[in-house]
Homo-oligomer: A and B are copies of this chain.
Amino acid sequence: MIKVSIAGATGYTGLELVQFLIRRPDIEFISLTSEQHKGKCLSQVFPSLKGWVQHELVPLGSQLPDCDVLFLALPHTASMAHVERLSGIAKKVVDLSADFRLSDPQVYEKWYETPHQNPKLLEGAVYGLPELHRERIKSANLVANPGCYPTSVILGLAPLMAVNWADLDSIIADSKSGVSGAGRKESMGSQFCEVDGGFSAYNLTRHRHTPEIEQELTKLAGEKIQITFSPHLIPMTRGILSTLYINFNQAVSEDNLRSTYLDYYKDEPFVRVLDRGKYANTHYVAHSNLCDIGVEFDSRTNRAVITTAIDNLIKGASGQAIQNMNLMMGLDEKTGLDFPGTFP
């Protein structure tokens, strides 16, 4: 029995962790925290859980009992404020915030506009994208779970970072996310009537997921990568679609391009490279830990057009966090995640 605690259980990623782990016979919940709802039962916050979860929500600052795995589903800056104390009670920590994703604390400070509070712990943190860092995750004590956009962008571009036809200065990531990516909080911009029937970009050229993407692509390419990253809001709840552009220095056949992807991901349980003429669609990965990748080559302009689709709350957050937990605990990586999307 794996003893699991979740700090920040009343956000959408906390809830998604509960929804996945509740189905597993090998998991026992120890503590579920919430500041706003402390004292209530989680099923009072989320009536969908009535009859399944009886735990009383406790504040993060209370004396939490020991556990095997602690998930931190807290806002950024809150994670780094609490992680030192909390890592004392947990053998393994998976942090779903941004606080331990950027290995350079100065980059963190520049983009998050606050100094990093725990550069020492940062050194030991592993970026939790299993397709890139599986072995290091297995032995890590603190895993920084990737952002939703970065997961979709990095998986879509990783196979091209090592080929020599690609112009690595030309990368553009045009990403589109469902509204749940904004988290569960009251805001005018996420009110139903403000979102329904509208589509727009936001935070163009300055979204905080940019350095995270660049850090991982830079590692893969072995040279400094800078990209243009454009997030957009889709009037729907779940899913991210990223459309990725990269110029090629020479013509490549679409089949060769697809082979590169098929080879790169041939052993990956959660990445599907789509057949010729198929496009990634968030609908087909919803409620699953899968990432679909569509591969196109525009021979008129010598430009690859890659589309990736994930469920932002699962492969983009809680599913990947569980995948990381599985690796950290020596389990089969697919445990509790081994199913396709739910449609429609």
Chain A interface residues toward B at CB < 8 A = 12, 15, 19, 22-23, 46-52, 169-170, 172, 174, 176, 178-180, 184, 186-188, 190-202, 204-205, 226-228, 230, 232, 234-239, 241, 243, 245, 272, 274, 278-288, 292, 294, 296-301, 303, 305, 307, 309, 338-344
Contact = CB atoms under 8 A, between A and B. Distances in A.
Given A193-B184, A340-B48, A199 B236 contact: yes
A60 to B, nearest CB: 20
A339 B235 CA distance: 25
B195 A305 contact: no
Given A192-B190, A287-B287, A339-B52, A281 B199 contact: yes
A176 B234 CA distance: 10
A29 to B, nearest CB: 14
Contacts of A191: 184, 186-187, 190-192
Given A191-B192, A192-B179, A197-B197, A344 B237 contact: yes
Shortest Cβ-Cβ A-B pairs, 10 listed: A198-B283, A200-B281, A48-B341, A48-B284, A205-B298, A193-B344, A174-B174, A186-B186, A48-B343, A192-B195
Contacts of A339: 19, 22-23, 52
A248 to B, nearest CB: 12
A299 B341 CA distance: 39
A303 B48 contact: no
Contacts of A282: 197-200
A344 B228 contact: no
